[in-house]
Chain A
């Protein structure tokens, strides 16, 4: 099995390596990566979310990820820690104290933001990420070489790497339930949420809904929709009663994040290091990792 994967990987690596000589920025500007006016989005109203974590359960169930029975999600002790989406949970809900009012805590659902100008898309050197017409940012396992640039580039630290399979790179992140939405179904978390704290709809419509809420209830919300402009706009939009940076949202400008790895990549090109050498280096790193992994599992056994 390991042999098979290694051969697969080397095959991919060889193809890319040979193609890399003629690699140009056109790889990044795949025809799919444009912004449709009708692109979909989700509005998360953190003042409505009750932190029941049913969305986590629904997401796992829809993606065939291992999950405990639904009753166990009532356990609020998980909120003691701040969690991040991982390869085993594409979305997580966190909790923050509510200091603006004396009421219940604030719960925030976290997942890929499906950026309008996704850093992961521009960072990925093989074009494994695409921004689709419906707004989703989707990762293609067949193209990915496991370089993890996307992980470094993402301003929200979303893409998670499945470490168990070092040689069959598997980046995991919220896929906007592309399979369900292509069948005209709602994303699993949206369908599940008991209070409809998360609404799925056209991005433009949702911005209007969000603005109306702020206008009608100025005491309930801070006057800002997170994701309207941040890093060039995102598909997941948030409303909150506290400033976003106080509830662990990253402090971001309105310019699309260039992505740290993209800077590295451009740096490499600037110093005339041929891309093939870069891939060779990456390949080497992966070999080492893989051997280390095998070694570890051997000693465990």
Chain B
């Protein structure tokens, strides 16, 4: 036993050391080694780093307002060009990206530090030795066309470029100003989306968007990752739910819900309203717990059931000294303030108190052991 402990003591700092060498950020990110490294055991000599994997990496995010509003993409400009450089409304695009995956929708490789621009990795020349990533012109066009093609179905050069020597070229100044000013209109998310499913028993799924956003505080990105403007504006729209496989239909819900079982949690025979903690679980959170994020109590990710309504589970044991009764909205008078909690509260959830221990003729809430005040936090 002793030797084992000794080995552990020696090994521990080594282990920690090794971990540190990997870099602090590696530890904080839920990254799969294989996202960046192509071999099983990357070493310092052979890190076998993949060139620019287009998956989510360690990315930094800026708000659209931090980003440049507009700039001209003229790094590749040549005198022989048929088309003029594009005036790119960066902020507008950043706003659109913000609704989906954020900066990394385009800046797919974006480690901490300055935002990595396209030209930092993609070479200017098409005639090159590293063919694993497109040249700059290809990279830009691929990035743009990915959305534009789906959005408008158009690939015309002139939807973005003016043709050199044509009259349209003179427009580029006003276009710059316009592009800088443009912002996306406010998006009004739906409150409840009702799905009519083909399920025989439990046809209706009422998806309460507001609940998911406000009550459950789920980040937009969690569900809307990798969505672009095309979610709404596409000519070639994503397949309607009806045409998808069962697994595909549930893919977003399955992030949190167990969609393989518990069908009836969501599939009902009629529409349902907002999530009501009391109706669903018997525990009323409206009084004292309304402002808490779900995970303050439901600590284990994805597990909601089984939490007891016993206050001491979260709050420990309350005594007359550590509990400020005024926070309930009732300030106890001097006499009652001296009692132990259990003198009045016999239930573990400290619900309705009893007066019977001392008063034959009194009941709560008709009679109050103090005065009502404005609820404090």
Contact = CB atoms under 8 A, between A and B. Distances in A.
A48 interface: yes
Contacts of B156: 74
Interface string B128-145: 000110110111011001
A104 B157 contact: no
A194 B137 contact: yes
A169 B232 CA distance: 56
Interface string B106-147: 000000000000000000001100011011011101100100
A205 interface: yes
B157 A102 contact: no
Interface residues of B, number: 29
B112 to A, nearest CB: 24
B145 A74 contact: no
Interface residues of A, number: 28
B53 interface: yes
B370 interface: no
Max chain B Cβ within 10 angstroms of own Cβ: one of A50, A52, A186, A195: A195
Contacts of B54: 216
Given A209-B132, A212-B132, A194 B141 contact: yes
Contacts of A71: 158, 163
Contacts of B141: 50, 194-196
Contacts of A48: 142
A216 B54 CA distance: 9
Nearest to A98: B236
A196 B190 CA distance: 40
Contacts of B299: none
A268 to B, nearest CB: 45
A209 B126 contact: no
A29 B231 CA distance: 58
A195 B142 contact: yes
A280 to B, nearest CB: 50
B126 A50 contact: no
Interface string A229-251: 00000000000000000000000
A104 B158 contact: no
A297 B294 CA distance: 86
A120 interface: no
Interface string B223-262: 0000000000000111100010000000000000000000
A104 B134 contact: no
Contacts of A201: 131
A243 B237 CA distance: 22
A206 B243 CA distance: 36
Given A103-B150, A209-B131, A186 B126 contact: yes
B157 A194 contact: yes
B150 A196 contact: no
Interface in A197-237: 197, 199-201, 205-206, 209, 212, 216
Contact of B138 (A43, A194, A200): A194
Contacts of A212: 132
Contacts of B237: 102
B126 A216 contact: no
Interface of B: 50, 53-54, 82, 126-127, 131-132, 134-135, 137-139, 141-142, 145, 149-150, 153, 155-158, 163, 236-239, 243
Interface of A: 43, 48, 50-52, 70-71, 74, 101-104, 186, 190-191, 193-197, 199-201, 205-206, 209, 212, 216
26 contacts: A43-B131, A48-B142, A50-B141, A50-B145, A52-B155, A52-B157, A71-B163, A102-B238, A102-B239, A104-B149, A104-B150, A104-B236, A186-B126, A186-B127, A194-B157, A195-B141, A196-B126, A196-B141, A197-B138, A199-B131, A199-B134, A200-B127, A201-B131, A209-B131, A209-B132, A216-B50
Given A74-B156, A195-B134, 9 more contacts: A70-B82, A102-B239, A103-B150, A104-B149, A194-B138, A196-B137, A196-B138, A197-B138, A199-B131
